[in-house]
Structure 1
Amino acid sequence: MTLVSVKRVLLVAAENDALHGAKVGGMADVIRDLPPALGQCSVIADVAMPNYGFLAQQYRVAHMADVEVDFAGERHVVSVYRMPRPQNKDEMVDIGEQDNTGAQIYLFDHPLFNHQGQVYCNGSADRPFAEDATKFALFSLSVATCLVNRLLPYFDVLHLHDWHTAMVAMLRGCVAEFSALQAMPCVFTIHNLALQGIRPFSGDDSSFAHWFPQYMDKLNAAADVSLFDPRYNNCINPMRMGIVLSDKVHLVSPSYAREVLMPSDYHKGFFGGEGLELDLATKAQQGNVVGIINGCVYDDKPLNDVDHQTGYAGLLHQAENAIIKWQAKANNVSVLDTIALTRMSQYKHAVLAEHLRSLEVNSRTFDDDKQRFLLTSVGRLTEQKVLILLQPYSATQIDKSLSSAKTVLEAVLESLKRQQPNGVFMLLGSGDLHIAKVLQATAARYDNFLFLHGYDEALSEQLYQSGSLFLMPSSFEPCGISQMLAMRAGQPCLVHGVGGLNDTITDNVSGWVFNGETLAAQGQALVERVNQVLALYGSDTWQQVKHNAAKQRFSWDDVAKQYLAKLYVANDNDQ
């Protein structure tokens, strides 16, 4: 088989951290870092994404074209803006440095894409994904129309990311007027299979029939095996569309690519194919499911002790500043922020008292940084991230000292108190308000738990730099970036052995791993592993694992080469 050289690809995505304000999760990191990595392989990687009502204006971008589409029974005009990919997202593109690969970003603008500067809508429990599904259906129609009408350049590969863009694959595969797009190979990347964008087929203003009435009697046979959710016969499933109708499906780690081929079993704490395992297994049998781990950006500067260990007092100061910024945007004082500020005040008084006592004893300078164990965690407050921590805990015969703990998190905190009396667990995250309430109650009861309810990039970086041990007990983790960032800063990790965590951390070598056959067993294993790892702190074994963690490299340059070899080429049986 003769392979055509790939010169230009189009990444279609909802997020992009190359632009300020367009990041929510790990997808944004990929869309930020993949284009320059592909550029090193002489491939131009352009990005198409919604404007969200502010990006083009923020970067003072010139209007490129208007595209007219029929959507929801009406004629709509979607404006398209084009900008060179900036080197620095915080600089305006006309005054800052531009990407030297020639990569472009196409911003699609329409009132339906504008949600007060937010990428996603929270939506309501009775109509999940309603607003988002509508806007991404219109966005996908606009992108497909631009490609068919050649308003965008010619691309060798069309690369779609998550359910938000999957209807491009649907139009390409099911509607005759977009069939020309089938000449362009289509890759579909799944960043998180748990979010699928499921909506009714009809009977709602956020439904397939309402969005595309003009195609209802024109869908080809492929629609019968790709549009509908296998569990709900009157619902469409965009994630399924992307899986069935793309040429190749990419999962963001090899382990996750294997896990999704099996059905989920929530009782056992296993998250697999989430109802789409049969479609994925069929694709895998064709050789068209590929697992490639995401990369991380490294500058490979030597770790400086001063930079790496920013200091406990400095970390508390950074956390206080973050809370003040959050409060500046709030109408009322947050109870969670009040608890956190009170705890930090207590910590500061304790440090001062210890410092004074040390001066009285030997008149030498007190170095608290070398005595303070910091357990850290950074991530979204979702069941995916904290389900194991919030499980009920039952003390074993081996360790009855934790008998007062009601949850796995409380058992972890009691273990930390016993083995590292001055230790603190700092958790930074926002998301599910119910989870936040549970963590709030725990933070009020345990003085060694500092829950910082929000997100702040500078604070997260300082947690990576200053922590002793990073905890990532995800129930499933397609790839994960936090563990890579912690290791990059020289902080070893304790993780659940699933997905990308399993692929990036080797137990007792570059970090520590726990497992379990059920949710209860996973919680028990986590507590036992915490006890074991805390007992190692400061030992030669600890230092070696820490050293190994800092040496790990998951380079985007290597990842880009795998994309070209495994994703952006056709199989022999596809020819």
Structure 2
Amino acid sequence: NPAGSRSRQDGPMRILFATAELAPVAVVGGLASASAGLVAELRRQGMDVDVVMPDYGGTALDDETEQSLDVPDWAGPARVRRGVHATAGPLSLVELPGLARPHPYLQPDGTGWPDNDHRFLAFAQAVAALCRLERPDVLHLNDWHTAAALAALETAPPTVLSIHNLAYQGTCDPAWLFRLGSRAALYARPEGCNPLAGGIALADAVVAVSPTYAREIVEPEHGFGLDGLLTERRDVLVGIRNGIDIDLWNPATDAHLPVAFGPGDLGMRASIRAAVHEELELPDDGRSLAVMVTRLTWQKGVDLVLPLVPYLDGLRLQLAVLGAGETWLADELRQAAAGRPEAVAFVEGYHEGLGRRLLAGADLFLMPSRFEPCGLTQMQAMRYGAIPVVTPVGGLCDTVVDADAHRGGTGFVARAADSLSVLDALHRALRGIERKGPRQKLQRRGMKADWSWREPAARHVELYRSLLR
């Protein structure tokens, strides 16, 4: 009986879900919340999901059991701790030499651990070993950290590989090809051993985290060198947008907000807006407020907004930015805030409470990404009544409907990812929100839309079933 061919009468479908991040256990980026949100909803929809992730250290489990895993000598010794995590539910944590670190990927100076290739290729071997033990109906891998598991599995169950960000491929020394297993040849690329490329070549289905991103990554400008391979595998490539945790992101129950509100009492946002101005030390002088809650990186297009600072007075617009990342962007934002304290506020770092208050108090939420596999913050912003102004890329296209182009609009989409197009979209947005009636219509549409994981999880279940037929 080959793995995955057991009859459906044997109870719920069993999924082995492998990820390097899972909220709240280990959180670096969107992978953590996407994994947690999808897994929780799959379980609600009746799937039996075993989540396996690295044991980075310090995670307590209830009802814990331990088991050793059969991995190659270079990777091990490997053990799996199984139990129940207080918030994440059932969890399998893989212990391997060198996996436990204070940050999953980065040294204290912000550069990657020099042995990340070894750490995650060894973790992928452990995922393969666990898969051989458990014989799940479906193996669901996420990003490059787990993609090399398929090199070590001669007979793999039906396998899904999710690509959360194609820019990160885990490329490493070609010498690794001799260690990965019987199917390692498919991981060979001109640039070396490429874990993500091998996973794309071997998976039965490849999921991009939004429909538009799935269309973009087969084009050279968004393919990060893998557009040719993805074009070859086009027939197994699907786009399913991520969701957000709507219980966690709910302005009616959010303890970080001074007052609660919902689509029916948008007037309550005025007091949050006033509190935000006070918190940021921005004058509350009747100008509209646009906010960014973002990583300070090239991808997020923060540098596209810097040239717009001189235009803020003419637009009667204030800009507040909360974020951390590249030092030069933080320096530029600090300078802008120092030079125009009445128009620009910048808070460096990530402050959960302030981030939520910004979304709840802002008129506009600005997200000028150069590429965006799915994007979560634009959905969180709409849920909190901030009207998104975005670039026409990836998941932003799938979640924000331009109000000038469509009757059912929820925001404003720039023509392109450049400064002039973003300025034009801001102009249109400010015109569109001038009058209270149209503004509140836009806000209510965004707040009432279903951004939950219900529909995306159902699409995943359909995909799993199609692979088992």
TM-score by length of 1: 0.71
- Please name the residue that 1:294 is paired with: 242
In structure 2, what is the equivalent of residue 282 of structure 1?
232
Asked if 2 retains the 8 angstrom alpha-carbon contact of 1:296 and 1:556, the reply is yes
Give the Cα separation in 2 of the matches to 1:532 and 1:145: 55
Give the AA of the match of 2:21.
E
- 1:551 deviates by 2.1
* Alpha-carbon displacement from aligned partner over 1:272-310 (angstroms, at most 9, x marks no partner): 1111011111111xx211111111233475445576455
Structure 2 counterpart SS, 1:384: coil
Residues 372-405 of structure 1, C-alpha deviations (whole Å, 9 max, x = no match): 522111121221102xx425xxxxxxxxxxxxxx
Displacement of 1:550 in angstroms is: 1.6
User: Is residue 177 of structure 2 the alignment partner of residue 163 of structure 1?
Assistant: no
Counterpart residue identity of residue 236, structure 1: C
- 2:257 corresponds in structure 1 to none
What is the CA distance between 1:63 and its match in structure 2?
4.3
- Deviation of residue 223 (structure 1)? 3.5
Structure 2 partner of 1:513: 413
Relative to structure 1, is the Cα distance of residues 505 and 208 closer, same or farther in structure 2, using a 3 angstrom cutoff?
same
Q: Is the 8 A contact 1:35 1:44 kept in 2?
A: no
Alignment match of 2:344 (pick from 420, 435, 449):
449
Residue 390 of structure 1 is matched in structure 2 by 303
Counterpart residue type for residue 274 of structure 1: F
Answering whether residue 455 of structure 2 is matched by residue 482 of structure 1, we say no
User: In the alignment, which residue of structure 1 is the partner of 2:78?
Assistant: 78
Which one of 182, 186, 195 corresponds to residue 168 of structure 2?
195
How large is the Cα RMSD of the aligned pairs?
2.7
In the other structure, the counterpart of 1:144 is 128
Mapped pair 1:11 → 2:13: no
Out of 256, 260, 276, the residue aligned to residue 315 of structure 1 is 276
C-alpha spacing 1:16/1:568, structure 2 compared with 1 (3 Å): farther
Instruction: Name the residue aligned to 2:256.
Output: none
* Cα 1:261–1:70 shift into 2, 3 Å: same
Give SS of 1:115's match: coil
1:228 aligns with 2:188: yes
Aligned equivalent of 1:240, options 180, 197, 203 = 197
Give yes or no for contact 1:123–1:129 (8 Å, CA) kept in 2: no
User: What letter is aligned with 2:77?
Assistant: V
Aligned equivalents of 2:100 and 2:452: distance in 1? 35
- C-alpha contact (below 8 Å) 1:63/1:79 kept by paired residues: no
Q: Secondary structure at the match of 2:71?
A: strand
Say which SS state the counterpart of residue 53 (structure 2) adopts.
Answer: strand
2:322 to 422, 428, 431: 428
| Deviation at residue 24 of structure 1 after TM alignment | 1.2
Is residue 39 from structure 1 mapped to residue 43 from structure 2 by the alignment?
Answer: yes
Contact 1:308 1:465 in 2 (8 A): yes
| Alignment match, 1:329 | none
Match of 2:433 in 1: 537
Cα deviation digits, residues 461-509 of structure 1 (max 9, x gap): 1112111100000001110100000011111100001110000111011
Deviations 1:348-383 (A, max 9, x none): xx56xxxxxxxxxxxxxxxx7xx3522111121221
Q: CA deviation at 1:456?
A: 1.8
**Structure 1 unmatched ranges of 5 or more:** 90-98, 173-178, 265-271, 320-343, 352-367, 392-407
Residues of 2 paired with 1:483 and 1:551: CA distance? 14
* Equivalent AA in structure 2 for residue 78 of structure 1: A
Deviation of residue 532 (structure 1)?
Answer: 2.4
Mapping 1:263-412, distance limit 5 Å: 263-264=220-221, 272-284=222-234, 287-299=235-247, 302-303=262-263, 304-305=265-266, 308-309=269-270, 311-312=272-273, 314-315=275-276, 344-345=280-281, 347=282, 350=283, 371=286, 373-386=288-301, 389-391=302-304, 408-411=305-308
CA distance in 1, matches of 2:380, 2:397: 16
Which deviates further from its counterpart, 304-313 or 496-505?
304-313
Q: Provide the rounded CA distance (Å) in 2 between the counterparts of 1:280 and 1:159.
A: 18
Task: Tell me how far 1:61 sits from its aligned partner.
Answer: 6.6
Q: Deviation above 6 Å: which 4+ runs of structure 1?
A: none
Check the 8 A contact 2:246/2:452 in 1, yes or no.
yes
Shift of 1:67: 2.7
* Alpha-carbon separation, structure 2, partners of 1:238 and 1:262: 20
Report 1:522-533 matches (<5 A). Answer: 522-533=418-429
Q: Percent identity, aligned pairs only? A: 30
CA contact (8 A) 1:18 1:85 kept: no
Tell me what 2:365 maps to. Answer: 470
Instruction: Kindly state the Cα deviation for residue 257 of structure 1 after the two structures are TM-superposed.
Output: 0.3
Deviations 1:510-552 (A, max 9, x none): 1000123xx6xx2211112212222333313333222222222
Deviation at 1:460, TM superposition (A): 1.5
Amino acid in structure 2 at the alignment position of 1:162: D
TM-score under structure 2 length normalisation = 0.86
Q: Alignment length, in residue pairs?
A: 442
- Max Rg structure: 1
* Residue in 2 that maps onto 1:62: 64
471-480 or 524-533: bigger deviation: 524-533
Instruction: Give CA-to-partner distance per residue, 1:174-206, whole Å, 9 cap, x none.
Output: xxxxx24x2x1110000000111111113xxxx
Secondary structure of the structure 2 residue equivalent to 1:105: strand
> How far is 1:85 from its partner?
4.6
Query: Is the CA contact (8 Å cut-off) linking 1:310 and 1:462 kept in structure 2?
Result: no
**How far off its partner does 1:259 sit?**
0.4
How far residue 439 of structure 1 moved from its aligned partner, in angstroms, is 2.5
Structure 2 vs 1, CA of residues 434 and 71 (structure 1 numbering), >3 Å: closer, same or farther?
Answer: farther
Q: Note if contact 2:62-2:85 (Cα within 8 Å) is conserved in structure 1.
A: no
Paired amino acid for 2:169: Q
User: Which one has the bigger strand percentage?
Assistant: 2
How far apart in 1 are the matches of 2:17 and 2:460? Answer: 13
Contact kept, 8 Å, 1:33 with 1:556, in 2: the verdict is yes
Per-residue deviation, 1:158? 0.4
**Distance apart, 1:571 and its partner CA:** 8.3
